[in-house]
Structure 1
Amino acid sequence: MLGKVIIILVTFLLQCALSGSAVTFQTPDVLTISYIKKDPNFYKYCKQQLKNVVGIRDEGISNVSCQALCYSANDDPPRSFSNKKDNGGDFDKWARSKEYRGYIHIPSFSVSCDAKGYISSDPKDPDYSDQHNPTQNPEKVVNIERNPYGYTKEYTPYIIYSSADIYTNDATFNGIRWSKIKDNTCLSIFDARASRLSTIARYIQYFLLKYDAPFIYAKVYMTVCCNRQVSVTVHRTVFPQTSLYINGTKVSEQAQTELGKFILSGGKPAKDFKIDEDGNWIIKHIKELIKNFSLSADGHGNLAPYGQDLTWNGKA
């Protein structure tokens, strides 16, 4: 009799050991930043791209366009952030500097798994007020002092920051979402942002180059599993520069490339204009220009070409 009891007890203990125990853990904090990087060689590179790819032969237009782009370049973001939670922390101060073209921040959140290794509760993302139905209107998550869709930095000759035009033509970019995958053993998290130059800056670009501005974007794909394995992949456009931060430290970066291809991707409006021989077309015909051609509507237009991914794999 005693032998049977011992066998049953050992079997029970082995089953407990094999099945594991329920666990709750914190995911890594994930941040991507898009910005136009300052580079002493960028002016020369810009002129080459305008001439060889975009087909701009006029030196005056090329000079003005590339100077404006250089003036609009952003200060490099910090290599690390020590405080991304509190107002007044280093991340909050950087975000209020407006020195970026967009960012995505997925704060650390808790994941609970049962003893069998299945997701047992939905996460809560502190960036959104409605946890079960993430915002369907990107404008609702925009703070005028901290806009994740970024700013257009304009030199007039004073530096001003205009809110970017937010892409609203695709529900894919309407906010964060998550779902259980792999038989409920992992959680898939997705967030995306897309924006482009402010409307005024788009008109200026069109006057100079005859192309509308494309939308830049970043898409974050994050997978978190009950074995604590975490993978992060960032899809982004060829331009501008993009950095990936994990737990406040920069772990990867992709350079801004293919400026000419990026400009061409914006496309030309249906109506065009011709420059007068005397060169005074802006002064003489500004009202006619605005009347006779139309850029794509705010929130609508072309996405810029897809660039090289950023990736990270690790443990929570």
Structure 2
Amino acid sequence: MIEEEVHQQFRLNKAAILELYEKILLNLNSKTKRSHAVTGVTKLLSVLYFMASGLFQHVASSRFGISQPTFCRILKQVLRAMMLVTKDYIKFPTTNDEILKIKEKFFNIAGFPNFEILDIVPNFPGSCHDSYILQGTELFRRFQRGDYGDSLLLGDNGYRLNQSLMTPYLSPSTSAELRFNHAHKKTRSIGERTFGIWKSRFRCLDVSGGALLYEPKIVCQIIIACAILHNIANAHNLETSIADDLREEIQENFEGNIPSDNAAQLVRQQITVDFFGNRL
């Protein structure tokens, strides 16, 4: 199979698949002595195809001559193996050099790089508000403690403005505030674009690819596994465009005027003055 076909079917190239396989092979190879045991490579490829295509199990597994009940067991085995290497592929920057590189990428945003997924919290139902989820994360607590210096998070107006998370002005009244909002939207759109690419690569994440009709634990593992695969694909410079049905303008969230403290408003105002103030 040529590289183009490999990428189309599995969203990774041969080198990336081999890299992942070597990481998890000890947890894939069957311990049974049966002559017809499914090989570790086939297990990995069948799961990659399932995630990339978004097909139902019985359809995806038939591509590899595997029965649906057998594939169900294989999926759980591959997911367990991938969970063991999560920290090798999904890690938030901690050193000053790593943080600086991330800042530079966002500052030079016009290049629209394919961003990695640096942190993931999949264990909340869709009914939970994004702001509620964020406030319960260790990442947010670290920003609140100042572990990342003057680095900031960006969020829409569904989040509460605070000193470590900047939201747009609800009613911008000056040209500087308008420029702040424009830059905020342009920068935040990178996150939306990343989600679009992620779901385009792995159609199992999007409703149009079916639905993840599994117990919550397995759904969480599939989401994390797809994040790992997304980062591996980026590390191998594998380009993927956003599928037409997933293209949409970034939506502004104006639900509720979540109160913010005065200190946070002063931080936002100072940023606006320093970086978006009077221009000729």
Q: TM-score, normalised by structure 2?
A: 0.25
- Looking at CA atoms only, which structure, 1 or 2, has the larger radius of gyration? 1
- Name the structure with the higher helix share: 2
Larger RCO (CA under 8 A, 6+ residues apart): 2
- Name the structure with the higher strand share: 1
